[in-house]
Every structure is written in C-alpha cells, then in structure tokens.
Amino acid sequence: MTRILVDADACPVREEIIRVAARLGCEVVLVSNGSRPIRPPEERFVRQVIVAEGADAADDWIVEQASPTDVITTADIPLAARALEKGARALSFKGHDWTAQNIGSALAGREIARHMRETELARGGPTHGPSAMALADRSRFLDALDRAIQAARRGPEKPIFRIPPGGF
C-alpha cells in the first residue's frame, strides 16, 4: 500500500494530503518531533508519529521507513534527496516534484542561498525566507501529489538517485 510520509512540523498542506489520501486509499503518517502541537483527524488511515527531539530525528525516521511505494512530502531538500536515495518519491509542499535529475541542483542552490543569508546577516541586513503559500501552490501540490501516488503505485522510478560517498 502506498503511504504518504509527511514531514509534519511545518507542513502547510496537511488537510490537502488527508483529502487526497482518503480519495485514493493511502495511509498518511504525520511525523514530527512534537515541538508544534498537531491534532490529526481521527481517521483510520492517518497516524501520527512523534520522534525524539533533535534536528534530524523526524527526517531520520522518515528515511528509515521510506520505500519505493511511498511518497514523502517535505520542504527539506536534503530529506528529499535521502528519500530519493531510498527509491521513494519526494514532493515539496508547493508541488515541486524532486527527482534524480533535479535534486543535485536543488541541493547546490540551497547551499548558495544559505551562504547568501549568512553574508546578509554578517552585514546586518535582513534575510528573506521562503515565499508564502499561494492558492496556486496548493493547487499545484494537489495535482503533484495525485501524480506521485499514481507513479508510486506503478513501482520504482529509474534511475534512483544516489548520494555520493561523503555527501555533497
């Protein structure tokens, strides 16, 4: 059975995920470290996993559980890369499909953005976070989630992304 493993602490599309899962008959696993209270709906196909506190505890749990029939939803690009390495599908909360073809440049872009933020902070300037969720983002996410679930049900995608020894 296809599962949707949700990096749930900062997930802005929980309701959308649950709606799609109900329609398509998927299990939803909301994974968090408990730092933000999450009240999952009382649906048989939804469960919550609270991991120990720690920077990557939820990510580690998700990757440990991930399989090629799963869809991982996250805003965390390194988590998406790790999910792809396990053969799972990975989606951003704004509906961006992470693939073996685009995850490397996304990781590189993340590092550039981190460096730019640090440079701005050192200069005493403001930093800019991600843009807010728009209605178009939610719509794109719903469409992408539906496609990812259908693809996960068909089986593993080739080629599977591999993180090089020593990381990026």
What 8-state DSSP symbol labels residue 50?
E
pLDDT of 165 above 60: yes
Cα gap 20→43, rounded to integer Å: 13
Confidence band of 40 (pLDDT split at 50, 70, 90): confident
Under 8 Å between Cβ of 92 and 98:
yes
Report the greatest alpha carbon distance in the chain. 51
Note every long-range contact of 122-127, with CB atoms under 8 Å and residues 24 or more positions apart, other chains counting: none
Could you identify the residue written with the tokens 């599977």?
A: 160
Sign of the CA dihedral with 100 first, then 103, 105, and 111 last: negative
CATH class of 3-99+134-154: alpha beta
Sequence-distant (6+) residues with CB within 8 A of 108 are 168
Strand order across the 71-73 sheet: 46-50, 27-32, 3-7, 71-73, 89-91, 97-98
Q: What is the predicted pLDDT for the residue at 127?
A: 60
Model-wide pTM > 0.75: yes
pLDDT tens track for 87-131: 999 999 999 999 888 887 777 776 777 667 677 767 776 666 667
Chain segment 42-53, per-residue pLDDT in tens? 899 999 999 987
Note whether 80 and 72 are within 8 A (CB). Answer: yes
